[in-house]
């Protein structure tokens, strides 16, 4: 009886092991069908002996339901990469244009600054000219109202250019008022050499207050 009971228990164990093995194999094939695992590759030798076809690679078939999605996704990635490169080129071009615009703006600003400086310099020169001209005319009128001998003393103490400017201003005032000019008389009262030098310079140089 004891040996018979042991055989029954052993038989049950064998049956349970066979059931477990069958369930495991069936589960593997089920997961293979779902695409989770590749069980057919593992059992390929036994399946080929049984005359069953097996899958020989991991590549998806042409009619795979995800093939079109994969191709579409790959094309989208290529489009995104192309767009990224294009945006990079545009950004580079925009940066170069911005640099060129900034350089042009700086050049315009420098030129405007130079023009402003020249204009200010011209205005200052014009103001100095007007001030000097006004002073020369004032001195010419002042000397014309003095006795000739006193006026000549002041002219003798002045430099040649100042004397020339005053003499020309006296002639202009005389021409405007219709009065006789005293320039010739002043020159006759000056020392002969100084008078000759002044007349030579007046003939050589045009009227100028510089």
Over the chain (210 residues), what is each successive 10-residue block's mean pLDDT? Answer: 61 83 76 64 62 51 60 83 89 90 90 88 80 86 90 92 92 89 92 92 68
Residue 57: per-residue pLDDT: 45
- How far is CA 66 from its chain centroid? 50
**Exposed, middle or buried by CB within 10 Å (0-12, 13-18, 19+), for 62?**
exposed
The residue with tokens 């001195």 is: 139
- Please tell me whether residue 38 adopts helix, strand or coil conformation: coil
Residue 5: per-residue pLDDT: 57
Residue 54: per-residue pLDDT: 54
Residue 26: per-residue pLDDT: 75
* Both structure tokens of 25: 């194999």
Residue 16: per-residue pLDDT: 85
Q: Does the reported pTM lie above 0.75? A: no
- Please tell me whether residue 180 adopts helix, strand or coil conformation: coil
Residue 36: per-residue pLDDT: 61
Per-residue model confidence as pLDDT tens digits over 29-63: 777 666 666 666 666 666 566 665 555 544 445 45
User: Which CATH number applies to 131-204?
Assistant: 1.25.60.10
Checking 193-199 for CB contacts under 8 A at 24+ apart, the result is 194/156, 197/160, 198/160, 198/163, 198/164, 198/167
Residue 48: per-residue pLDDT: 64
């Amino acid at each position: 009886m004891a040996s018979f009971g042991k055989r029954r228990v052993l038989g049950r164990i064998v049956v349970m092991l066979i059931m477990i093995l069958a369930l495991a194999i069936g589960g593997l094939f089920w997961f293979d069908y779902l695409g989770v695992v590749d069980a057919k590759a593992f059992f390929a030798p036994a399946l080929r002996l049984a005359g069953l076809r097996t899958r020989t690679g991991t590549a998806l078939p042409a009619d795979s339901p995800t093939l079109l999605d994969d191709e579409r996704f790959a094309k989208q990635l290529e489009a995104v990469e192309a767009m990224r490169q294009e945006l990079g080129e545009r950004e580079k071009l925009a940066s170069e244009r911005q640099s060129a615009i900034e350089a042009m703006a700086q050049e315009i600003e420098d030129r405007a600054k130079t023009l402003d400086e020249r204009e200010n310099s011209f205005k200052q020169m014009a103001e100095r000219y007007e001030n000097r001209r006004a002073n020369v005319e004032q001195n010419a009128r002042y000397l014309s109202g003095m006795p000739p001998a006193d006026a000549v003393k002041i002219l003798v103490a002045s430099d040649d250019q100042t004397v020339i400017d005053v003499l020309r201003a006296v002639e202009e005032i005389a021409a405007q008022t219709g009065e006789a000019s005293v320039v010739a008389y002043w020159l006759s009262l000056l020392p002969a050499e100084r008078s000759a030098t002044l007349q030579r310079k007046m003939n050589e140089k045009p009227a100028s207050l510089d």
